[in-house]
């Protein structure tokens, strides 16, 4: 006897720092020539063995001289460990995108992208316990769990597609809207060789970036995902403030943000942008029905991005990592 369960994809609170994971059209969508990033999330450690997720990604830009369009090519590796290691998921993904009208004076830009991934999941079924292991009036883990028919490994290919529309009415202001569809090939996922299809996941993201003073920019966003009957809505904003050095020419930026996931969690973001690096950290405060068990403690998350910019290109937004 066995039971089936439906699992959700990994999600990051700092979705804006995981661009390739959520929309392949974000590949190459930054001011520079090369970008590399890392996301790490640790959650539910307050009342159980922590769930740990992390990814590493990198993308490059290909834009020939005199061309107003550009290509983006990216790679992403993700690993997710559920609790005490019973279920481990790994993902290796390649993505590509094409950006139309990507030039400094453009007021409209459009991009579309595709990604393909190889996914592998492993299950250590011997770390699970079943009712067949009851021995009279006590539980005996040395007894067989009678789950010999289960495989301890599965793998499949997974494909996604997305688009991104950006409007830049003038320097220092930007509005954008992105859509992505994941699992478009509807891969099968089962350790028992059952007919268990992964439902398509849809992602919508809208936001803006504009200056509120000479030394500060605001970046409000709304983020929505839906997969089968599960959905989430995130809304909030980051603010970037320039902080000058003594020579009044070099500066770094302080990043502060506040975000809310509907009926689930709230968190504050703090970070720094300096010399091409952007580091940010947040802690989720759980506000869901799990609050009595979690005592409002969710999890901590880190993001680190490095962007190699071209010296002959000016970025009026001073926030290349989170574009």
> What integer pLDDT is reported at residue 10 of this predicted model?
86
Which residues, in sequence order, are CB contacts of 130 under 8 Å at separation 6+?
145, 146, 147
Segments making up each domain of the chain, as ranges: 25-322
Length of the chain: 323
Q: Please tell me which residue, 297 or 80, carries the higher pLDDT value.
A: 80
> What integer pLDDT is reported at residue 243 of this predicted model?
83
pLDDT tens digit sequence for 160-204:
999 999 999 988 899 999 999 999 999 988 877 778 889 999 999
Which residues, in sequence order, are CB contacts of 102 under 8 Å at separation 6+?
63, 68, 69, 70, 109, 111
Share of the chain above pLDDT 70, in %: 78
Report how far Cα 155 is from the mean position of its chain's Cα atoms. Answer: 21
Q: pLDDT band at 5, cuts 50/70/90?
A: very low
Q: Please tell me which residue, 144 or 176, carries the higher pLDDT value.
A: 176
pLDDT tens digit sequence for 213-241:
988 999 999 999 999 888 999 999 999 99
How many whole angstroms separate alpha carbon 322 and alpha carbon 253?
A: 13
Q: Read out DSSP for 86-135? A: TEEEEEEEEEEEEEES-STT-SEEEEEEEEEEEEEEEE-GGGS--GGGEE
Residues linked to residue 160 through DSSP beta bridges, in sequence order: 115, 182
Q: Please tell me which residue, 84 or 314, carries the higher pLDDT value.
A: 84
How many whole angstroms separate alpha carbon 150 and alpha carbon 124?
A: 10
DSSP percent split of the chain into helix, strand, coil, nearest 5? 5, 55, 35
Q: Please tell me which residue, 135 or 280, carries the higher pLDDT value.
A: 280
> What integer pLDDT is reported at residue 237 of this predicted model?
97
> What integer pLDDT is reported at residue 289 of this predicted model?
59
Tokens representing 145?
């769990």
Q: Which helix (H) or strand (E) holds 151?
A: none
Mean pLDDT of the 123-148 span: 68
> What integer pLDDT is reported at residue 316 of this predicted model?
44
* Strongest mean pLDDT among 143-147, 225-229, 233-237, 262-266: 233-237
Question: What is the pTM assigned to this prediction?
Answer: 0.85
Tokens representing 122?
């492993």
Pick from 257, 200, 196, 265: which is nearest to 228 by CA? 200
* Strongest mean pLDDT among 1-10, 139-148, 201-210, 278-287: 201-210
How many whole angstroms separate alpha carbon 282 and alpha carbon 70?
A: 33
> What integer pLDDT is reported at residue 63 of this predicted model?
86
Domain 25-322, CATH homologous superfamily name and number: monomeric porin ompg (2.40.160.40)
Question: Residue 25: helix, strand or coil by DSSP?
Answer: helix
How many whole angstroms separate alpha carbon 114 and alpha carbon 95?
A: 6
């Amino acid at each position: 006897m066995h039971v089936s369960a439906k699992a959700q994809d990994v999600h990051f609170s700092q979705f804006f720092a995981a661009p390739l994971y959520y929309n392949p059209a974000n590949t190459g969508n930054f001011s520079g020539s090369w970008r590399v990033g890392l996301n790490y999330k640790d959650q539910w450690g307050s009342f159980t063995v922590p769930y740990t997720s992390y990814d590493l990604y990198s993308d490059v830009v290909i834009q020939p001289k005199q061309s107003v369009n550009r290509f983006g090519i990216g790679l992403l590796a993700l690993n997710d460990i559920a609790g005490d290691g019973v279920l481990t998921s790994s993902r290796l993904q390649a993505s590509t995108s094409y950006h139309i009208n990507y030039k400094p004076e453009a007021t409209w830009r459009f991009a579309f992208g595709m990604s393909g991934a190889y996914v592998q999941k492993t299950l250590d079924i011997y770390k699970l316990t079943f009712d067949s292991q009851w021995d009279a009036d006590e539980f005996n883990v040395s007894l067989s769990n009678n789950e010999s028919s289960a495989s301890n490994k599965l793998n499949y290919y997974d494909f996604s597609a997305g688009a991104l529309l950006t409007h830049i009415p003038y320097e220092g202001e930007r509005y954008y809207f992105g859509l992505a569809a994941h699992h478009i090939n509807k891969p099968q996922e089962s350790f028992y060789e059952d007919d268990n299809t992964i439902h398509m996941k849809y992602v919508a993201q809208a936001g803006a970036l504009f200056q509120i003073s000479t030394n500060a920019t605001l970046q409000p966003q709304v983020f929505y995902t839906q997969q089968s009957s599960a959905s989430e809505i995130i809304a909030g904003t980051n603010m970037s403030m320039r902080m000058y050095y003594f020579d009044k020419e070099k500066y770094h930026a302080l990043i502060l943000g506040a975000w809310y996931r509907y009926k689930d969690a709230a968190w504050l973001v703090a970070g720094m942008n300096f010399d091409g690096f952007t580091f940010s950290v947040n802690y989720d405060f759980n506000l869901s029905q799990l609050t009595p068990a979690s005592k409002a403690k969710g999890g901590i998350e880190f993001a680190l991005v490095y962007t190699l910019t071209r010296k002959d290109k000016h970025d009026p937004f001073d926030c290349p990592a989170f574009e």
